[in-house]
Chain A
Amino acid sequence: MSNPTDLQYTAEHEWIAAGSDTARVGVTAYAADALGDVVYVDLPAVGTVVTAGEPCGELESTKSVSDLYAPVTGEVVEVNEAVDADPSLVNSDPFGKGWLFVVKVTATGELMDAAAYDALIAGA
């Protein structure tokens, strides 16, 4: 599967799309595929401050519950209401309509580019 080159990635299989001072966050196609059908997403509320590398929510699939890790530090300024209503968007369009939330970034965690992430999941 191809990971978009204009995104940055974490070892926890989140992606971020960096804006001027915000970052949109989602999980990768690899993560969505590993989870199976996502049936519930528990996202941090708008106004919450999340910390890079710390759990900030949950993704629940038919088979399992997985922590969602914040890839960056900052205040959550927007959450994807559509994915709350229809969690299967995480599976069907993980890099697009399945985005999860937007953070006003004050610090970033360890991020990698698409090539490094490709290599990570190839070795997984």
Chain B
Amino acid sequence: MTTPSATPRLTPLHDVHAALGASFTDFAGWQMPVRYGSETAEHRAVRTAAGLFDLTHMGEIELVGPGAGAALDHALVGRPSAIGVGRARYSMICAEDGGIIDDLVVYRLAEEHYLVVANASNVAVVAPELVARAEGYDVSVTDTSADWALIAVQGPASAEILAGLTELDVPSLKYYAIDAGTVAGIDVLLARTGYTGEDGFEVYCRPADAAAVWDALSKAGQAHGLVPAGLACRDTLRLEAGMPLYGHELDRETTPYEANLGRVVVLDKPEGFIGQAALAKRKEQGPQRTLVGLVSTGRRSPRAGYPVVDPATGAEVGVVTSGSPSPTLEKPIAMAYVPPALATPGTRLQVSLRGTLEDADVVELPFYKRTS
């Protein structure tokens, strides 16, 4: 059983979730809805229509000032100074040794204003780290997590749902773009981002407005099959989409290269960045283990922490980082770290499921890719 630490924080939508009959779970210090009814039904609704998520637990850090871009170039592995205003990038903050401290979405809200979104479990580390790394740059760094509620609408119907509620030109808002405007007359930041593998939007609003935004989206979505969706389906959706989750695929012992996310590292930034030397070395040497997708041939699912075995030798060669029955593929799927020599799609491996070896085949990630 989990050890309850401090009293979990409640999002401004807590009463709304309770009224919808949500089951709650403690997640990164927050009490969050894990599902409202069947998590499989919520998963399918996001794949076929739309789901409404409360993501207020996510952390927001804002950087304001003429040195904001340069500070982020120094602090992160990417090059936020090159992000166009109104656009976003997926990035990471790494330690000097190249280990991943967190994975982030970086939005450029204005020339001198960035919004960095961190995982709930890491914001208490990332915010002071960004403050320290921005020292000497002309920028103010503030943890504004308490100023923001975050509501996501994800799924193929989400654009149509949003379009009826905002003056913003939804169809022309590009993937990984953000704009300030209103939803149901309420000031928001509307971003076309998400963590489900579907088209979708994330709506940043003031906590006091969260219930009104949720209500408006909920009502507008009804005719489109939108359902409230909890963290359980968020996890299976991101797993099918091959997206990493911090604490599973990503941690301090892992660099972006093991996670097949070397593309987010801009090694040749002239001013340098924290972790540069270690990451350059890791890239040159090549990773010792690499993240793969596994599809199990049996009915039981690999789970995080289960050993991966090479059937040729019987030796444990890796470990599962996330695993679940896939509602879309209707078979168990997993991500795992294995030696590069065993990472070729089609390789037959085994997963030790509580003592029983079950065959699993290496496949290309993602498991699921939307068609349009």
Which residues of B324-351 have CB atoms within 8 Å of chain A's CB atoms?
324-325, 327
| One of A36, A39, A63, A65 near B354 (C-beta < 8 A) | A65
Residue from A36, A39, A58, A65 in contact with B35 in the complex, judged by beta carbons closer than 8 Å: A36
For residue B23, CB closer than 8 A to chain A, the reply is yes
A residues within 8 A CB of B249?
A: none
- Asked if B299 is at the interface (CB within 8 A of a chain A CB), the reply is yes
Contacts A33-B23, A36-B232, A39-B325 given; indicate if A60 touches B38 (C-beta within 8 A).
no
Q: Which residues of B contact A58 (CB under 8 A)?
A: 354
Interface flag for B40 (CB, 8 Å): yes
> Can you sample 27 A-B contacts with CB below 8 Å?
A33-B23, A36-B34, A36-B35, A36-B38, A36-B39, A36-B232, A37-B39, A37-B40, A39-B299, A39-B301, A40-B299, A40-B325, A58-B354, A60-B300, A60-B301, A60-B325, A62-B39, A62-B236, A62-B324, A62-B327, A63-B34, A63-B39, A63-B235, A63-B324, A65-B300, A65-B354, A91-B38
- A78 interface contact, C-beta 8 A: no
CB neighbours (8 Å) of B300 from chain A are: 40, 42, 60, 65
- Name which of A36, A42, A62 has the most chain B CB atoms within 10 A of its CB: A62
* Shortest CB distance B361–A (Å): 19
Q: How far is the CB of A6 from chain B (nearest CB, A)?
A: 27
Q: Which DSSP category, helix, strand, loop or mixed, fits chain A's interface?
A: mixed
Instruction: Provide the bound-state CA to CA distance between A60 and B38, in Å.
Output: 15
Nearest CB to that of A39 among chain B residues? B325
Residues of chain B within 8 A (CB-CB) of A34 are: 23
Closest to A64 in B: B303
Residue of A nearest to B232 (CB): A63
Instruction: Give the chain B neighbours of A39 by CB distance below 8 A.
Output: 299, 301, 325
Within the assembled complex, what's the spacing in Å between the Cα atoms of A60 and B236? 15
Q: How far is the CB of A83 from chain B (nearest CB, A)?
A: 13
Of the candidates B40, B299, B354, which one forms a contact with A62 in the assembled complex, judged by CB atoms under 8 Å apart?
Answer: B40
Closest B residue by C-beta to A65? B303
Chain A residues whose C-beta falls within 8 Å of the C-beta of B301 in the assembled complex: 39-40, 60, 65
> Are B324's CB and A37's CB within 8 A?
no
Question: Considering residues A42, A60, A65, which has the most beta carbons from chain B within 10 angstroms of its beta carbon?
Answer: A60
List the B side residues contacting A64 at CB < 8 Å: 303
Q: How far is the CA of A105 from the CA of B108 in the complex (A)?
A: 68
CA distance A63 to B40 in the complex (A): 11
- A62 to B303, alpha carbons, bound, how many Å? 10
**A37-B39, A40-B300, A91-B38 in contact; A62/B325 too (CB < 8 A)?**
yes
Residues of B346-364 contacting chain A, CB below 8 A: 354
Residues from chain A with Cβ under 8 Å of B34 in the complex: 36, 63
Q: How far is the CA of A83 from the CA of B49 in the complex (A)?
A: 29
Q: A39 to B299, alpha carbons, bound, how many Å?
A: 8
Q: How far is the CB of B297 from chain A (nearest CB, A)?
A: 14
**B10-33, CB < 8 A from A:** 23
Complex Cα gap A55–B300 (Å): 17
Task: Write the A95-108 contact mask toward B (1 if CB under 8 angstroms, else 0).
Answer: 00000000000000
Chain A residue numbers with a CB within 8 Å of B325 are 39-40, 60, 62
B41 nearest CB neighbor, chain A only:
A37
Nearest opposing residue in chain B for A40, CB measure: B299
Bound complex: CA A63 to CA B301 (Å):
10
CA distance A62 to B35 in the complex (A): 12
Q: Give Cα A17 to B274, complex, Å.
A: 64
Per-position 1/0 for A49-65, Cβ under 8 A of B: 00000000010101111
A63 contacts which chain B residues (CB < 8 A)?
34, 39, 232, 235, 324
Measured CA separation A63–B325 after assembly (Å) = 8
Q: Which residues of A contact B235 (CB under 8 A)?
A: 63
Contact with A along B232-255 (1 / 0, CB 8 A): 100110000000000000000000
Taking A36-B35, A37-B39, A91-B38 as known contacts, 17 extra A-B pairs with beta carbons closer than 8 A to each other, sorted by chain A number, are A33-B23, A34-B23, A36-B34, A37-B38, A39-B299, A39-B325, A40-B299, A58-B354, A60-B300, A62-B39, A62-B324, A62-B327, A63-B34, A64-B303, A65-B300, A65-B303, A65-B354
Q: Which residues of B contact A65 (CB under 8 A)?
A: 300-301, 303, 354
Give the residues from 110 to 154 in chain B that come closer than 8 angstroms, CB to CB, to chain A: none
- B231 (CB) vs chain A CBs: closest residue: A63
Which chain B residue shows the least CB distance to A63? Answer: B232
B300-317 at interface with A (beta carbon < 8 Å): 300-301, 303
Distance to closest chain B CB from A36 (angstroms): 5
0/1 string, A10-44, CB within 8 A of B gives 1:
00000000000000000000000110110110100
